[in-house]
């Protein structure tokens, strides 16, 4: 039986970040991943590094994490592109909320500014006429998450971590895990398996939330910022069975990544024609020029969603040396690095830089 200071189960962006952070702290680490590194939700999302201001706890974690992401701004593997985030208002009601959102983002230590309609069209001339201005977060960026996860795992391995690739955890014991080939590893265990969390920790409620994305051929110069509708948060954080929101991203290649959709209670990973149709119609409402572009690929993914939308970060209640970092929904890439730092602080008994209480797994069992 091999002994480790930490066994990280799952090598998505969250598990990879935890393994990287743990090896940086000198821990002897094992990583267990049955599939490709960063092959789950990490591979399916947009890789948008964004602060959302509607939940103060989520905002604190995002801000803490976004500062960590700045360390990766020059990393080739990250494909870090500081395109900024431009939120657009459809009507005066949405526009009226901008001042408050700017204030909240700035209070959290971020940069944000209101833009009037004229400035909006200067920033993104292809937007549909009739929009009422918006809000620009100029320092926000996009990355390519699967390669970051791969980089973090490689770095952890250079620092001595063992990777159990192609292996799944069959059973969690008391500070041991049993792999599907019968291997037993001993040590404190951190479960970061995203949507697969219920297989190992069924006591923590988590539902997969399906999303669609589509990427176009290369159209350099058509889109400059990650552009979202201000109503995005109500789609993202609402609990409707299905919803769509306008969310487009310029990739460094000139390709345009188009989202987004959210569906509960769907397990089929196939691209759904009706959902794609709704999502694209929404995008055309905000950017009619998209209609004539060539789509080259559509795909889906599943976001690990907790009942209150916040991730589980901390000790698993009623267990020994068992930890969890999962349930980041659509913000796993943004908050992975901060989540990992927070987990290491908790694991090593240090007071974290941000209040861990809102993410404590115990809340789900209360």
Partner 1 sequence: MTERYDVLVVGAGPARVAAARAAASHGARVGLLDAQARHGGQVWRHDVLHGTPRPARIAFDLLARTRGHVEWLPQHQVISADHRTLLVETPRAAVRLSCGSMVLATGARELLLPFPGWTLPGVTGAGGIQALAKQGWPVRGKRVVVAGSGPLLLAAAATLRRHGARVLGICEQAPAAAVAAFAMQLWRWPARAVQAAVLRTRLAGIPYRCGSFVRMAHGRDALCGVDVDDPHGPLHIPCDLLAVGYGLVPNVELASMLGCALDHTRIHPCVRVDTLLRTSTANVYAAGESCGIAGLAAARIEGSMAGHAAAGFPAAATALLPSRQRARRFADLLAQHFALDARTRTLAGADTIICRCEDVTLAALDGFTDARAARLATRCGMGACQGRICGTTLAELDRFPHGGTRPPLFPARLATLATGDPSTP
- Contact positions toward partner 1, by CB under 8 A? 35-39, 43, 146-147, 150, 214, 216-217, 258, 271-274, 276-277, 280-281, 283-284, 290-299
Strand partners, 256: 250
CB 341 within 8 A of CB 351: no
Residue 128 C-beta: closest distance to partner 1, Å: 15
Dihedral pair phi/psi, residue 199, rounded to 5°: -65, -35
22: its two tokens: 């743990």
Closer CB to partner 1, 12 or 134, in the complex: 12
State whether residue 270 is helix, strand or coil.
coil
Q: Which is nearer to partner 1, 63 or 147 (CB)?
A: 147
The structure tokens 């970040």 sit at: 17
Tokens of 83: 């395109």
E strand segments, 62-111:
85-88
Closer residue to partner 1 (CB): 292 or 349: 292
Q: Which is nearer to partner 1, 256 or 331 (CB)?
A: 256
Name the minimum Å distance from CB 38 to partner 1.
6
Nearest approach in angstroms of CB 283 to partner 1 is 8
Residues near 305 by beta carbon (within 8 Å), at least 6 away in sequence: 206, 207, 208, 209, 264, 327, 329
Tell me which residue of 306, 175, 157, 282 sits closest to 229, measured CA to CA: 282
For partner 1, the closer CB: 135 or 336:
336
Residue 89 CA to residue 87 CA, distance in Å, equals: 7
Question: Considering the complex, what minimum distance in angstroms separates the CB of residue 298 from partner 1?
Answer: 5
The residue among 64 and 80 lying less far from partner 1, judged by its C-beta, is: 80
With respect to partner 1, which residue has the nearer C-beta, 301 or 309?
Answer: 301
| Shortest Å distance, C-beta 299 to partner 1 | 5
Minimal distance in Å, beta carbon 343 to partner 1?
A: 24
Minimum Å distance from CB 279 to partner 1? 8
- For 40-66, give the DSSP string: SHHHHS--EE----SSHHHHHHHHHHH
Measured distance CA(186)–CA(181) in Å, rounded: 15
Can you tell me the distance from the alpha carbon of 25 to that of 51, in angstroms, rounded to the nearest whole number?
Answer: 27
């Amino acid at each position: 039986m091999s002994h480790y200071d930490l066994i990280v189960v799952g090598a998505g962006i969250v598990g990879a970040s935890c393994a990287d952070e743990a090896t940086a702290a000198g821990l002897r680490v094992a990583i267990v991943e049955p599939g490709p590194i960063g092959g789950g939700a990490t591979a399916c999302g947009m890789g948008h590094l964004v602060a959302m201001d509607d939940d103060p706890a989520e905002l604190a974690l995002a801000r803490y994490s976004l500062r960590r992401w700045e360390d990766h701004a020059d990393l080739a593997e990250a494909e870090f592109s500081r395109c900024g985030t431009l939120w657009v208002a459809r009507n005066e009601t949405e526009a009226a909320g901008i001042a408050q959102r700017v204030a909240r983002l700035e209070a959290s230590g971020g940069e944000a500014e209101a833009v009037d309609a004229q400035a909006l069209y200067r920033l993104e001339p292809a937007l549909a006429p009739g929009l009422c201005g918006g809000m620009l977060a100029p320092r926000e960026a996009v990355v390519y998450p699967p390669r970051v996860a791969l980089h973090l795992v490689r770095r952890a391995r250079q620092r001595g971590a063992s990777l159990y690739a192609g292996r799944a955890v069959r059973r969690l014991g008391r500070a041991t895990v049993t792999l599907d080939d019968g291997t037993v590893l001993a040590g404190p265990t951190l479960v970061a398996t995203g949507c697969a969390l219920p297989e190992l920790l069924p006591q923590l409620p988590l539902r997969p939330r399906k999303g669609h994305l589509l990427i176009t051929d290369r159209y350099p110069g058509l889109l400059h910022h990650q552009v979202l509708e201000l109503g995005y948060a109500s789609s993202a954080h609402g609990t409707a069975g299905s919803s769509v929101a306008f969310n487009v991203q310029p990739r460094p290649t000139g390709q345009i990544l188009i989202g987004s959709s959210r569906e509960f209670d769907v397990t089929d990973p196939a691209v759904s024609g009706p959902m794609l149709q709704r999502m694209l119609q929404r995008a055309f409402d905000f950017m009619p020029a998209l209609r004539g572009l060539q789509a080259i690929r559509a795909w889906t993914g599943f976001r690990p969603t907790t009942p209150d939308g916040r991730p589980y970060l901390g000790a698993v209640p009623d267990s020994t040396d068992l930890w969890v970092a999962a349930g980041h929904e659509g913000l796993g890439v943004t908050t992975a690095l901060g989540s990992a730092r927070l987990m290491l602080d908790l694991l090593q008994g240090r007071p974290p830089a941000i209040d861990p209480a809102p993410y404590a797994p115990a809340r789900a069992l209360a």
